[in-house]
């Protein structure tokens, strides 16, 4: 288990190590010949302040590695929120338990209505999301929802509350392809202040979730931190160490990393550590250079122009046409979890991708292939 490695006890040590990286160390990494010679240890140097002047070089290397591994393809995905019920208090989230908002969990009829709209956009893969509520959106609700949705999509992924290994096995058997679970922050003490109540306040249980997923044999695990809760460099380095550990332990599993940056929501949460767009590009490139096979995902939280520019430099999947509230595709009046900054339609984003000589991909995997 990753918790047994006690890595997260050494936040200050890794923070200093990243800050004190010398430019010569970055130059040495970038002058290497093969991507395989750049292991996770180099990740700290590539996200350091010392690497900032080498951004153009990192972008070109990242672009080359991405095209070699993934071709000129961009997978599109769309989230479908099934519920905004949540028993947790997360101080940065619009769905937090104490927020007085209308709560909603979709019925079968409402899910089918959403499916009709999402299918009409051209999608054959979907990401299902819920808040974290044992009774209302626990394993029974999710299994039922997955079975219903799976009849209409080749690929179903979920981003829901952390579960037990046997529950993940049930979900996999019901047709779930990927499970996304973000640690939010790897800073143990600070984590508690952002998650004061509910099951999510258990730092270790969340940290061991990818291990339970790996043991359950889920095909793909999505990782990430909520960029802005703590120093983004140290958090990202821990995420990279976690990814490295998982890749070595559950080597048959695929992995993806997402880059959610804190955005405004009801309650006006201000990020502690602001990650600029330039730094976000540096982070994306560092992942690509050190983890050539990992899928990297950029959501419509980011503004349209930025997503257009960053497209060739490491990203392999993008959301398009997203709504972040339950029932959002048929009725957009309910409260959002966070603001979308790129509100173009899936067709508009697909056209943008084609204009850059890339191919938009609406699904890249099917259960019949295994
Ligand atoms: S981040 Fe997730 S667990 Fe936390 S309040 Fe929002 S929906 Fe609930």
pLDDT in tens, 99-134: 999 999 999 999 999 999 999 999 999 999 999 999
Q: For residue 286, how far is its CA from the centre of ligand 1 (angstroms)?
A: 28
Nearest CA to ligand 1 atom 1: 93
Measured from CB, residues less than 6 Å from any atom of ligand 1 are 86, 88, 90, 93, 95-96, 131-132, 200
Q: For residue 90, how far is its CA from the centre of ligand 1 (angstroms)?
A: 6
Ligand 1 pocket, mutate which of 81, 82, 83, 86 (most atoms under 8 A from CB): 86
**Over 50: is that where the pLDDT of 155 sits?**
yes
Ligand 1 pocket, mutate which of 90, 103, 129, 325 (most atoms under 8 A from CB): 90
pLDDT, tens only, 180-234: 999 999 999 999 999 999 999 999 999 999 999 999 999 999 999 999 999 999 9
pLDDT, tens only, 315-330: 999 999 999 899 999 9
Return phi, psi of residue 218, to 5°: -65, 140
Tokens in use for 126?
A: 């979907």
The helix (run of H) or strand (run of E) holding residue 284 is helix 277-290
Instruction: Give the position, in ligand 1's atom list, of the atom nearest the Cα of 184.
Output: 1
Mean pLDDT of the chain: 92
**Residue 201 DSSP label:** G
Ligand 1 pocket, mutate which of 92, 98, 132, 265 (most atoms under 8 A from CB): 132
Strand, coil or helix: what is 319?
strand
CA distance 198 to 328: 26
The helix (run of H) or strand (run of E) holding residue 348 is helix 346-355
**pLDDT for 266:** 41
**Residue 262 DSSP label:** P
**pLDDT for 338:** 66
Interacting residues of 300 by C-beta distance below 8 A, sequence separation 6+? 307, 318, 319, 320, 321, 322, 340, 341, 342, 343
Count of alpha carbons within 13 Å of 296, Cβ hemisphere only? 28
CB 163 within 8 A of CB 179: no
CB-CB neighbours of 155 under 10 Å = 24
What secondary structure does DSSP assign to 113-150, as a single string?
A: HHHHHHHHTT-SEEEEE----TTTSSHHHHHHHHHHHH
Ligand 1 pocket, mutate which of 82, 92, 93, 161 (most atoms under 8 A from CB): 93
What global pTM score does this model have?
0.93
Q: For residue 160, how far is its CA from the centre of ligand 1 (angstroms)?
A: 9
CA distance 44 to 53: 15
CB 126 within 8 A of CB 135: no
Average pLDDT of the residues in 158-162 = 98
pLDDT, tens only, 224-268: 999 999 999 999 999 999 999 999 999 999 999 999 998 644 456
Q: For residue 66, how far is its CA from the centre of ligand 1 (angstroms)?
A: 32
Nearest CA to ligand 1 atom 5: 96
Interacting residues of 155 by C-beta distance below 8 A, sequence separation 6+? 124, 125, 126, 177, 363, 364, 365, 366
Q: For residue 83, how far is its CA from the centre of ligand 1 (angstroms)?
A: 11
CB 258 within 8 A of CB 222: yes
Q: For residue 29, how far is its CA from the centre of ligand 1 (angstroms)?
A: 38
CB 270 within 8 A of CB 289: no
**Over 80: is that where the pLDDT of 367 sits?**
no
Q: For residue 341, how far is its CA from the centre of ligand 1 (angstroms)?
A: 20
**pLDDT for 353:** 96
Nearest CA to ligand 1 atom 7: 131
Q: For residue 259, how far is its CA from the centre of ligand 1 (angstroms)?
A: 17
Which stretch of 35-39, 76-80, 101-105, 355-359 has the lowest confidence by average pLDDT? Answer: 35-39
pLDDT, tens only, 268-291: 678 888 899 999 999 999 999 999
Instruction: Give the position, in ligand 1's atom list, of the atom nearest the Cα of 89.
Output: 5
Alpha-helical runs (H) found in 31-76: 41-46, 55-70
Higher-confidence residue: 28 or 4? Answer: 28
**Over 60: is that where the pLDDT of 160 sits?**
yes
**pLDDT for 343:** 86
Tokens in use for 211?
A: 């291990």
Q: How far is CA 134 from CA 146, 163, 258, in A?
A: 16, 10, 25
CB 220 within 8 A of CB 365: no
Instruction: Give the position, in ligand 1's atom list, of the atom nearest the Cα of 94.
Output: 6
**Over 70: is that where the pLDDT of 33 sits?**
no
**pLDDT for 269:** 79
Return phi, psi of residue 185, to 5°: -145, 145
What secondary structure does DSSP assign to 83-94, as a single string?
A: B-----B-TT-T
- Provide the CA 13 distance to its chain's centre, in angstroms: 26
Q: For residue 31, how far is its CA from the centre of ligand 1 (angstroms)?
A: 42
Average pLDDT of the residues in 327-346 = 77
CA distance 194 to 273: 14
In the chain, pLDDT over 70 holds for what percent of residues?
A: 93
């Amino acid at each position: 288990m990753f918790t047994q490695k006690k890595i997260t006890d050494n936040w200050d040590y890794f923070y200093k190590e990243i800050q004190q990286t010398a430019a010569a160390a970055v130059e040495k990494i970038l002058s290497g010949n093969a991507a395989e010679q750049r292991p996770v240890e180099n990740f700290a140097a590539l996200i350091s302040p010392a690497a900032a002047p080498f951004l153009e070089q990192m972008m070109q290397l990242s672009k080359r590695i991405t095209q070699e591994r993934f071709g000129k393809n961009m997978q599109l995905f769309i989230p479908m929120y099934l519920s905004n019920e949540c028993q947790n208090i997360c101080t940065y989230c619009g769905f937090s338990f104490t927020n007085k908002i209308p709560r909603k969990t979709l019925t079968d009829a409402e899910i089918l209505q959403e499916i009709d709209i999402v299918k009409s956009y051209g999608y054959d893969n979907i990401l299902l999301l819920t808040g974290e509520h044992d009774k209302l959106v626990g394993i029974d609700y999710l299994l039922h929802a997955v079975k219903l949705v799976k009849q209409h999509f080749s690929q179903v992924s979920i981003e829901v509350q952390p579960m037990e290994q046997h529950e993940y096995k049930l979900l996999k058997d019901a047709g779930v392809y990927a499970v996304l679970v973000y640690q939010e922050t790897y800073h143990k003490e600070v984590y508690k202040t952002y998650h004061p109540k509910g099951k999510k306040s258990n730092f270790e249980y969340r940290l061991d979730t990818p291990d339970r997923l790996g043991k359950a044999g889920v095909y793909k695990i999505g990782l990430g931190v909520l960029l802005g809760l703590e120093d983004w460099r140290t958090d990202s380095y821990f995420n990279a160490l976690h990814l490295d550990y998982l890749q070595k332990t559950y080597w048959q599993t695929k992995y993806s990393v997402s880059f959610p940056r804190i955005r405004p929501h009801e309650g006006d949460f201000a990020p502690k550590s602001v990650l600029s767009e330039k730094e976000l590009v540096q982070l994306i490139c560092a992942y690509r250079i050190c983890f050539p096979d990992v899928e990297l995902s950029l959501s419509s939280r980011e503004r349209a122009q930025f997503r257009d520019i960053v497209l060739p430099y490491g990203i392999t999947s993008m959301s398009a046409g997203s709504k972040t509230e339950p029932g959002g595709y048929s009725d957009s009046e309910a409260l959002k979890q966070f603001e979308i900054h790129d509100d173009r339609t899936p067709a508009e984003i697909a056209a943008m991708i084609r204009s850059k000589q890339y191919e938009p991909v609406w699904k890249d995997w099917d259960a019949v292939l295994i």
